[in-house]
Chains A and B, each alone.
Chain A
Amino acid sequence: MSGITEAYIAYTIMLGLVIWFSRDVLTSILSLEDELEALSDEEVTASEEE
């Protein structure tokens, strides 16, 4: 047994982890930016109503 299968499994796990995390951080930043924007909109509408 040369261990190449194990090497592939380990690489998949490690790559999967960093790719998943990068994706998570990027989508989270986008949704936070949208949320912040929506919250600012809310404030603008509130002040216009006043």
Chain B
Amino acid sequence: MVDCGSVMGNGGHHPRRLSGVKMNFRDSGYALTYLGLAGILFVSIIGLEYAPGLKPCTGGGCWGAPEAYRIIYLHVPFAWCSFLSFCVLFYGSLMWYLNRSEEAWIYFQSGSDLGLIFGLGVITSGPIWASAEWGVPWDWADMRLNSFGLLTAIAVFLVYSRQSQPDTQQNRDTLAAIGLFGFVLVPITAGATKWWQTTHPPHLVVESGDTVGMSPEIRTFLLISFGLMCILFTGLFLLSNKRYRLAAEVSSRKNEIDQEAIS
């Protein structure tokens, strides 16, 4: 359990309260989150209005909806961040199994929350782009799409289950097992869809943009966007950890009060 001695030992003084707003910025989580949010707002404006678009016809073929390509500037960084979140989730699940520490559970909770948010971003923006470009919202043969879909579904499941189940070790074990199971399933899905992919017409395959025909300007802009998104991700990750650390303190404090007799 989290040590809540420091909280209880305050004896009526509340440094957190007195610190006010200024104190918040000493905490790097806040600063990084605000910076990251400002950054991706900047990326959005630039991405939608000024960033390099595509010529209607490049390479071998023409784009059906060349402007929809701008989705990539948030979509791909979102996808990478969601992958980072699922790594955090995987790490949390694994560490929970290895040492059953509160710290591991905090990582698990942050990982599933962030995975849900970034995963949802990927699997909503992806089909919007795909349906504009190819008229096909979802391609069952595409490995990346399906594995992100699967992982996001697992993140939804984990977030809701965590909130609706009693916080017991048994439930934590089960949820951590589901987290691991989901992560292990990804390479299997990847392998399976590789076989199927050969049977599908090539024009259906959704390109994630980091492969063929990307101009250096687009790549640079994408990397800037990813950098800013990473700042936001780190900020949110730190804040989320802080939130769950506080939640664990509150919960252990409440458990103590539960033991007190009614006056």
A and B touch in the complex (CB under 8 A): yes
The binding surface of chain A is classed by DSSP as: helix
Whether A10 contacts B246 by the Cβ 8 Å rule is: no
Whether B236 contacts A22 by the Cβ 8 Å rule is: yes
CA A22 – CA B39 in complex, angstroms? 14
Whether A29 contacts B120 by the Cβ 8 Å rule is: no
Query: Is B129 an interface residue when CB atoms closer than 8 A count as contact?
Result: yes
CA A2 – CA B68 in complex, angstroms? 7
Interface 9-residue window, one of B41-49, B88-96, B183-191, B200-208: B41-49
B residues within 8 A CB of A36?
7, 246, 249-250, 253
CA A3 – CA B232 in complex, angstroms? 27
Number of interface residues of A (CB under 8 A): 34
Give per-residue flags for A13-50: 1 if the beta carbon is below 8 A from chain B beta carbons, else 0: 11101110110011011001101110111111010000
Whether A40 contacts B8 by the Cβ 8 Å rule is: yes
A residues within 8 A CB of B71?
6-7, 10-11
Whether B243 contacts A29 by the Cβ 8 Å rule is: yes
Whether A13 contacts B125 by the Cβ 8 Å rule is: yes
B residues within 8 A CB of A46?
260
Query: Is B239 an interface residue when CB atoms closer than 8 A count as contact?
Result: yes
Q: B67's contact among A4, A29, A33, A41, by CB below 8 Å, is which?
A: A4
Instruction: Say how far B195's CB is from chain A's closest CB, in angstroms.
Output: 31
Residues of A within 8 A of B (CB): 1-4, 6-11, 13-15, 17-19, 21-22, 25-26, 28-29, 32-33, 35-37, 39-44, 46
Known contacts A32-B243, A36-B246; 16 additional CB pairs below 8 A are A1-B132, A3-B68, A4-B48, A4-B67, A6-B68, A6-B132, A7-B48, A10-B128, A13-B124, A13-B125, A18-B37, A21-B113, A21-B114, A25-B243, A29-B242, A37-B17
